[in-house]
């Protein structure tokens, strides 16, 4: 029977199959080939899982010459018998009857040749320069499968809980939220843009008739939708043009932002806690092999840290209470703690890892260090903000109850120099049928970073964008 | 019992509840209030479904004065008894014990006041100018819930079929695909950008160290991921800076692009057909009330058209065969048909609606009207392209088997003036372990347009972007 008449099987299906001693067709990429003059063993990966399938080529059937192109990175189609493995380390293997090389990978030039497709021997940093090939390594295969699982778990969680997915705009005409430096989006000719009588660039001639930027958050538009659909979430790319070369910042990253009508701050905290625990639990259940690999390879505390989040009820306390704890802590901090200043990562991690030994939700921050749209507390000094703090990572979620009172919101905007005329549509939600509501933002890469245990945010997104880097 | 001690119920849960004669708390927005001097009926919507919940306020318990702010668009919290309804049109209603107005909506200024929250009396076009409020209408509530359901169905379908979701970059350093005009992304000062010695703008000084644009497609990067993970898909925003003011074009829209290693063209067609039928079937099952509303209000053929797609196997034929059919058709076409020219919407719809009376997949188009990356047929004249054509809408999916042969791909790129040096990373996939592979693109708004039966693409995305329009 020619190979094409058989349906291709995926490696992960074969590895868990109990239907043995049958003809199978499998296609994938060679991770390694080794053996002796009687038999050759080919480790085949097709991306469906971390593990490779062992293909056994008996040299009484295959000439050395016919196998010479079966090198690391080459692609092959293999027809053969799926049988119980005689070797250690795998339950099944394929006794090859026919092997076709689909594409070669010249050992002299293939960048992942030297150490198989594992990252060993090539630093994670060097792999960023070949981001088009790095998904072929065990590490990035694992990270990308976990990233997928988390994205799916997010959609599934919200769908099951009656939330609607809303696509908020990427190109925005307002820069009102002031969450950071923005990228300008334009079709004006860069060399000689049209100019007005006074010599300034005439953005009325630009594609959208005014200056436009890439969004820094979908929250404000999410609120608009929540005022009609009740419970919504966004999940889309957001952008910051900050010239920061750190392991925690990207110029382009994905945000998840639920927004809920009729939710007060405790409701918001309940949701954030249940949501995060569900996501981590999903990853533990669905990505066991990939997580185990990352745990073994990079971070022996990874699985413990994930279980810690699932097992512990989050500790809730106010910012003011946290400051008291930090001020009396025996630990020396690099940055001093004082009421009114933002907490540093070292403070957040102390609370989570040393003091409470569980995830923490801090609430009611001083209004001066939080955004204009957060609901003012009755004391006039704090707002109904909440930050969820995780071990190893610090803040993973930031959110708040929103100010639903038109007058108070306008006053805060004036105080903070947020232009009310640009946000007329946002204010309309408070003008017509306003309701108490809340929401939060989860940086998706922060979540992937936490769940995979990777150290640099550039290694948890397929094609990272940062200063001077927009390759691929 | 004060209202706050009860947990809020969502309207769609109450409407389908059989647990009657109990205290409930419900919150939402008033659609209408009507009645007589003995009793007032408030139609309450909370976005959880199209239908409203009837709240009955007995005027022996409530003064006219206390109800005066309960106007269309106002938000209220209602505590009362859930009982079987005595009226027609609903199974249950709430006999109000306590009504709290959360937010008013001044009838003099509330834009959706006149005709309740339905679109009647306000044109769809006028509603685009108040896109921040239009989700509160029946029409846009229905469209956005269906949009959510389709997005979720897409993620669920791929997850169940072993595909991994890959976030391809939004900001791209290459403009090589040539799919249309692009938006430039920059942080250079527009008035006086830095210039090189020869006076041209110095993009080396820009954020990414070169000129960057918003992506027009995630396909090329999707292919990179498929060469490692096997089966992947993208679902993200894409952009075209085309100055076209039509009912079919947006400057910002969402694309779904699966990419599969080891898939040939027939595999690709099988996937596209099963995928589309699954999505439409999901909508029919999960959005019955919203679809019925759109069917009744806008398009009496909508449900029939959806069922038509689910029930009929798609007709597959080559472009060449289709041209023969069109040339001998009795119907007069505005545009002539000749081998080598692209088909117009009138031709596509003739094939689907008149000739075959089923969805159609056209394959093997002339190479000169298709993109450089499509696999050349043996005849050297056509490529392994496929377009899926739907009733009422024409092309809904475009895809192809990809050219996996490095030499042939390079030759095509040279022929079509695609710069090979910019796409070195794309060519690497053909250099190292190349495999036959395929993929396609589904414009998400095209799908939502088809499933909702709406006439204008600006009405199936929450905040549409088009020339001179980037409000909200």
Sign of the alpha-carbon dihedral angle for A440, A446, A448, A452: negative
CB distance B50 to A230 below 8 Å: no
Which of B436, B435, B424, B220 has its CA nearest to residue A74? B435
Structure confidence by residue, pLDDT tens digits, B167-195 = 999 999 976 655 569 999 999 999 999 99
Average pLDDT over residues B209-213: 96
Rounded to the nearest angstrom, the minimum Cα separation between B294 and chain A is 17
Q: Which of B131, B207, B231, B261 to mutate to test the interface with A (most CBs of A within 10 A)?
A: B207
Indicate yes or no: CB of A190 within 8 angstroms of CB of B184. Answer: yes
User: What is the C-alpha to C-alpha distance for residues B421 and A144, in angstroms, rounded to an integer?
Assistant: 27
User: Facing residues of A318 across strands?
Assistant: A363
Percent of chain B with pLDDT over 90: 92
Using a 10 angstrom Cβ sphere, with 0-12 exposed, 13-18 middle and 19 or more buried, the burial of residue B366 is middle
Rounded to the nearest angstrom, the minimum Cα separation between B356 and chain A is 30
Q: Which residues of B touch A428 (CB under 8 A)?
A: 132-133
User: Facing residues of B15 across strands?
Assistant: none
Q: Which residue of A has its CA nearest to B12?
A: A162
Indicate yes or no: CB of A133 within 8 angstroms of CB of B104. Answer: no
Q: Which of B74, B228, B432 sits opposite A141 (nearest CB)?
A: B228
Indicate yes or no: CB of A239 within 8 angstroms of CB of B171. Answer: yes
Indicate yes or no: CB of A151 within 8 angstroms of CB of B141. Answer: no
Which parts of A186-264 fold into alpha helices (H)?
219-229
Q: Which of B462, B464, B467, B468 to mutate to test the interface with A (most CBs of A within 10 A)?
A: B462
- β A53-58/A92-103 pair status: parallel
Rounded to the nearest angstrom, the minimum Cα separation between A470 and chain B is 5
Which of A421, A420, A425, A218 has its CA nearest to residue B472? A425
User: What is the C-alpha to C-alpha distance for residues A61 and A63, in angstroms, rounded to an integer?
Assistant: 7
Q: What is the largest CA-CA distance in chain B?
A: 86
Structure tokens at B24: 């409930």
User: What is the C-alpha to C-alpha distance for residues B352 and A117, in angstroms, rounded to an integer?
Assistant: 48
Structure tokens at A289: 């092999």
Helix (H, G, I), strand (E, B) or coil at A242: coil
CB distance A6 to A23 below 8 Å: yes
Rounded to the nearest angstrom, the minimum Cα separation between B107 and chain A is 10
Identical fold at B3-103 and B138-179+216-459? no
Q: Which of B135, B181, B241 sits opposite A229 (nearest CB)?
A: B135
Which of B239, B250, A415, A437 has its CA nearest to residue A426? A437
User: Facing residues of B92 across strands?
Assistant: B84
Rounded to the nearest angstrom, the minimum Cα separation between B332 and chain A is 38
Q: Which residues of B touch A230 (CB under 8 A)?
A: 10, 28, 46-48
Average pLDDT over residues B390-396: 92
Write b or e for each residue in A349-380: b if 16 or more Cβ atoms lie within 10 A of its Cβ, otherwise e: bbbbbebbebbbbbbbbbbeebbbbbbbbeee
pLDDT given at position A179:
57
CB distance B465 to B132 below 8 Å: no
Structure confidence by residue, pLDDT tens digits, B332-367 = 999 999 999 999 999 999 999 999 999 999 999 999
Phi, psi (degrees; rounded to nearest 5) at A448: -65, -40
Which parts of A122-186 fold into alpha helices (H)?
124-128, 138-160
Q: Which residue of A has its CA nearest to B226?
A: A47
Indicate yes or no: CB of B164 within 8 angstroms of CB of A187. Answer: no
Q: Which of B164, B227, B426 sits opposite A144 (nearest CB)?
A: B164
What crossing angle do the helices spanning B288-298 and B265-286 adopt, rounded to 10°? 90
Using a 10 angstrom Cβ sphere, with 0-12 exposed, 13-18 middle and 19 or more buried, the burial of residue A7 is exposed
Q: Which residue of B has its CA nearest to A198?
A: B191
How distant is the alpha carbon of residue A334 from its chain centre?
A: 30
Q: Which residues of B touch A241 (CB under 8 A)?
A: 187, 207
Domain ranges (residues) in chain A = 3-103, 138-179+216-459
pLDDT at residue B87 above 90? Answer: no
Helix (H, G, I), strand (E, B) or coil at B312: coil
Q: Which residues of B touch A225 (CB under 8 A)?
A: 135, 144, 462
Q: Which of B135, B229, B425 sits opposite A47 (nearest CB)?
A: B229
Q: Which residues of A touch B169 (CB under 8 A)?
A: 252, 462-463, 465, 470, 472
Q: Which residues of B touch A46 (CB under 8 A)?
A: 230, 261-262
Q: Which residues of A touch B171 (CB under 8 A)?
A: 183, 214, 239, 251-252, 465, 470
Indicate yes or no: CB of B148 within 8 angstroms of CB of A169. Answer: no
pLDDT given at position A425:
96
Task: Give Cα separations from B472 to A132, A171, A174, A427 (angstroms).
Answer: 36, 10, 7, 11
Q: Which of A25, A185, A234, A461 to mutate to test the interface with B (most CBs of B within 10 A)?
A: A185
Mean pLDDT of chain B: 95
Write b or e for each residue in B295-322: b if 16 or more Cβ atoms lie within 10 A of its Cβ, otherwise e: bebebeebbebbebbeebebbbbbbbeb
Q: Which of A75, A225, A425 sits opposite B435 (nearest CB)?
A: A75
Q: Which residue of B has its CA nearest to A130?
A: B425
Q: Which residues of A touch B102 (CB under 8 A)?
A: 433-436
Indicate yes or no: CB of B183 within 8 angstroms of CB of A183. Answer: no
Task: Give Cα separations from A100 to A24, A69, A79, B195, B386 (angstroms).
Answer: 14, 10, 9, 55, 27
Indicate yes or no: CB of A425 within 8 angstroms of CB of B472. Answer: yes
User: Facing residues of A374 across strands?
Assistant: A402
Indicate yes or no: CB of B428 within 8 angstroms of CB of A133. Answer: yes
Pick the CATH number of A3-103 from 3.40.50.720, 2.120.10.70, 3.50.50.60, 2.40.50.140: 2.40.50.140
Q: Measure CA of the first residue to CA of the last residue in chain B; give whole Å.
A: 42
Architecture of domain B138-179+216-459 in this structure? 2-Layer Sandwich (3.30)
Could you tell me the pLDDT band of residue B1, with boundaries at 50, 70 and 90?
very low
Rounded to the nearest angstrom, the minimum Cα separation between B207 and chain A is 6
Helix (H, G, I), strand (E, B) or coil at A405: coil
Instruction: List Cβ neighbours of A265 (8 Å cut-off, separation of 6 or more).
Output: A363, A375, A384, A386, A400, A401, A438
pLDDT given at position A1:
45
Q: Which residues of A touch B190 (CB under 8 A)?
A: 184, 186, 188, 193, 201
Indicate yes or no: CB of B201 within 8 angstroms of CB of A207. Answer: no
Rounded to the nearest angstrom, the minimum Cα separation between A355 and chain B is 33
B93 DSSP 8-state letter: E
Q: What is the pLDDT along chain A (472 residues), one digit of tens a residue?
A: 454 579 999 999 999 999 999 999 999 999 999 999 999 999 999 999 999 999 999 999 999 899 999 999 999 999 999 999 988 888 999 999 999 999 999 999 999 976 544 555 789 999 999 999 999 999 999 999 999 999 999 999 999 999 999 999 999 997 665 556 999 999 999 999 999 999 999 999 999 999 999 999 999 999 999 999 999 999 999 999 998 889 999 999 999 999 999 999 999 999 999 999 999 999 999 999 999 999 999 999 999 999 999 999 999 999 999 999 999 999 999 999 999 999 999 999 999 999 999 999 999 999 999 999 999 999 999 999 999 999 988 999 999 999 999 999 999 999 999 999 999 999 999 999 999 999 999 999 999 999 999 999 999 999 999 999 999 9
Q: How many CB pairs under 8 A join A and B?
A: 322
Q: Which residues of B touch A73 (CB under 8 A)?
A: 432-433
pLDDT given at position A88:
85
Average pLDDT over residues B135-150: 97
Q: Which of A185, A262, A465 sits opposite B169 (nearest CB)?
A: A465
Q: Which residue of B has its CA nearest to A244?
A: B207
Q: Which residues of B touch A171 (CB under 8 A)?
A: 183, 214, 239, 251-252, 465, 470
């Amino acid at each position: 029977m020619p190979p094409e008449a058989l349906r291709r099987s995926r490696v992960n299906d074969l590895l868990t199959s109990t239907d043995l001693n049958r003809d199978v067709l499998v296609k994938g990429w060679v991770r390694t080939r080794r053996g002796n003059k009687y038999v050759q063993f080919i480790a085949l990966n097709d991306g469906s899982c971390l593990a490779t399938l062992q293909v056994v080529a008996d040299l009484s059937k295959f000439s050395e010459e016919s196998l010479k192109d079966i090198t690391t990175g080459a692609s092959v189609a293999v027809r053969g018998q799926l049988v119980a493995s005689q070797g250690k380390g795998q339950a099944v293997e394929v006794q090859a009857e026919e092997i076709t090389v689909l594409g070669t990978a010249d050992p002299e030039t293939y960048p992942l040749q030297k150490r198989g497709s594992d990252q060993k021997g090539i630093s994670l940093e060097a792999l960023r320069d070949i981001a088009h090939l790095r998904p072929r390594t065990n590490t990035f295969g694992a990270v990308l499968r976990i990233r997928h699982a988390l994205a799916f778990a997010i959609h599934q969680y919200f769908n099951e809980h009656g939330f609607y997915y809303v696509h908020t705009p990427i190109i925005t005409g307002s820069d009102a939220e002031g969450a950071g430096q923005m990228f300008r989006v334009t079709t004006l000719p860069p060399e000689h843009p049209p100019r007005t009588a006074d010599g300034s660039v005439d953005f009325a001639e630009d594609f959208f008739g005014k200056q436009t930027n890439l969004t820094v958050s979908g929250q404000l538009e999410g609120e608009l939708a929540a005022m009609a659909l009740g419970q919504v979430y966004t999940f889309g790319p957001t952008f910051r043009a900050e010239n920061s070369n750190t392991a925690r910042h990207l110029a382009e990253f994905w945000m998840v932002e639920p927004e809920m009508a009729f939710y007060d701050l405790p409701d918001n905290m309940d949701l954030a806690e249940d949501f995060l625990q569900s996501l981590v639990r999903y990853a533990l259940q669905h990505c066991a092999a990939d997580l185990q690999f990352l745990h073994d390879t990079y971070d022996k505390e990874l699985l413990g840290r994930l279980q810690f989040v699932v097992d512990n009820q989050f500790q809730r306390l106010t910012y003011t209470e946290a400051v008291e704890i930090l001020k009396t802590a025996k630990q020396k901090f690099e940055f001093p703690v004082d009421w009114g200043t933002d907490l540093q990562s070292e403070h957040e991690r102390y609370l989570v890892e040393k003091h409470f030994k569980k995830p923490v939700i801090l609430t009611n921050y001083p209004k001066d260090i939080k955004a204009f749209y957060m609901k003012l507390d009755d004391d006039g000094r704090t707002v109904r903000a909440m930050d969820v703090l995780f071990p190893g990572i610090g803040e993973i979620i930031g959110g708040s109850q929103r100010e639903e009172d038109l007058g108070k919101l306008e006053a805060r905007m004036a105080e903070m120099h947020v232009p009310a005329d640009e946000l007329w549509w946002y204010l309309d939600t408070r003008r017509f049928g306003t309701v108490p509501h809340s929401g939060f933002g989860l940086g998706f890469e922060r979540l992937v970073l936490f769940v995979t245990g990777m150290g640099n945010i550039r290694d948890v997104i397929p094609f990272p964008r940062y200063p001077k880097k927009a390759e691929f």
